[in-house]
Amino acid sequence: MKRITREPVKIWMVGSIGIDDIKTRTVERKDLMGGSLPFSTAASSFFAKTGAVGVVGSDFPSAFSRRWQAFGIDLAGVQRVTGSTFRWACEYDKNMIDRTTLKTELGVFAAFMPELPASYKHAPFVLLGNIQPELQLHVLMQAEGAKFVALDTMNLWIEIARPALRKVIRKVNLLTLNDGEARLLTGKWNLVDCADALLKMGPSFVVIKKGEHGALLFSKKSVFIVPAYPVRKLSDPTGAGDSYAGAFMGYLARAGHVTERLLREALVYASVVASFGVEGFSLERFERLTMSEIDKRVRELKRMMTA
């Protein structure tokens, strides 16, 4: 695992931090570190110094914090307050795609108000993870040096907070969401039509994720398709989308600038890093992962993409 410890934060991410119970077709695991933020920051940490903005309760295990920091992630933006950490439980269907939520206990996450540490305010890259649009906007307004901002969202906010979500979308450079969310937000079915509508909302780029079928990167001038890396060992798909977004933005932060070519390259790396994450529960596979493994799998994926 590559650890980047003494550099200034190049990218910060905001999102949920939780304790998960996960049941798959073969295994049941309890009290796992979860939430969107651990996955996205761990994936990003292979490429750039990453800061985390979130909240945990007094019951959040210190062992989780140590494991998280071992990635070289800056946790100055993680608030620890009295109360219970966000808890979530799910059971996956046999296809390991569909799942049933068994428990959602917001705990201290219900009153979360993100505050950006001074050391993060001039970081050039930002990932607004999947939290309430009002909170995404609140923390973005504190980012004085943000040059490239990506936004992730979900169907819940599309359904109950659409005006606020549209307001945040107008202020970001890239919007990422899955195909169902793109259809829900735009009211269109064809994904090219969805992308056209989303680009008109303000961002310069849109990434539409299609799970095991890869992702599409849209701009006003081009479309780029990246397949998902075919995984042999699927242990737990939880956090795959967050890992995808984190690796994508971390790669751009390492480059320090954004071009169409870099965006396409970042998507390939995102596909690969996410493929490793699902091979274990929580961050377990990332804790054993090396850059040489990532680069090797990137070469394999590129060969698969070549006619």
Q: Which domains does the chain have, with CATH numbers?
A: 11-305 (3.40.1190.20)
How far apart (Å, rounded) are the C-alpha atoms in residues 119 and 129? 19
pLDDT tens figures, 121-159: 999 999 999 899 999 999 999 999 999 999 999 998 999
Identify the burial level of 63 via C-beta atoms within 10 angstroms of its C-beta, where 0-12 means exposed, 13-18 middle and 19 or more buried.
Answer: exposed
Could you tell me the pTM of the whole model?
0.95
Give 20-59 pLDDT, tens digit per residue. Answer: 999 998 899 999 999 999 999 999 999 999 999 999 999 9
How far is it, in rounded angstroms, from Cα 27 to Cα 145?
A: 44
Pairing of strands 86-92, 18-23: parallel
Residue 89 has pLDDT above 70, yes or no: yes
pLDDT in tens, 282-301: 999 999 999 999 999 999 99
> Is residue 103 within 8 Å of residue 127, measured between CB atoms?
no
At residue 7 the predicted structure's pLDDT band, cuts being 50, 70 and 90, is: confident
Helix boundaries (H) for 123-178? 133-140, 155-160, 162-169
Residue 5: pLDDT over 70: no
How far apart are alpha carbons 33 and 87 in whole angstroms?
10
Evaluate if residue 100 carries a pLDDT over 80.
Answer: yes
Which tens digits make up the pLDDT trace of 254-278? 999 999 999 999 999 999 999 999 9
Which residues, 6+ apart, have CB-to-CB distance to 167 below 8 Å? 133, 137
Asked if residue 2 has pLDDT above 60, the reply is no
Q: Quote the CA–CA distance of 16 and 282 in Å, as a whole number.
A: 14
CB count within 10 Å of CB 10 equals 21
* Residue 79 confidence class, pLDDT cut points 50, 70, 90: very high
List of E strands, 58-152: 74-81, 86-92, 99-105, 125-128, 148-152
Residue 307 pLDDT = 76
The per-residue pLDDT for 216 is 97
Q: Above pLDDT 70, what percent of the chain? A: 98
- Which pair of tokens denotes residue 167? 């307001």
Least confident of 4-13, 160-169, 197-206: 4-13
Residue 1's pLDDT band, with cuts at 50, 70 and 90, is low
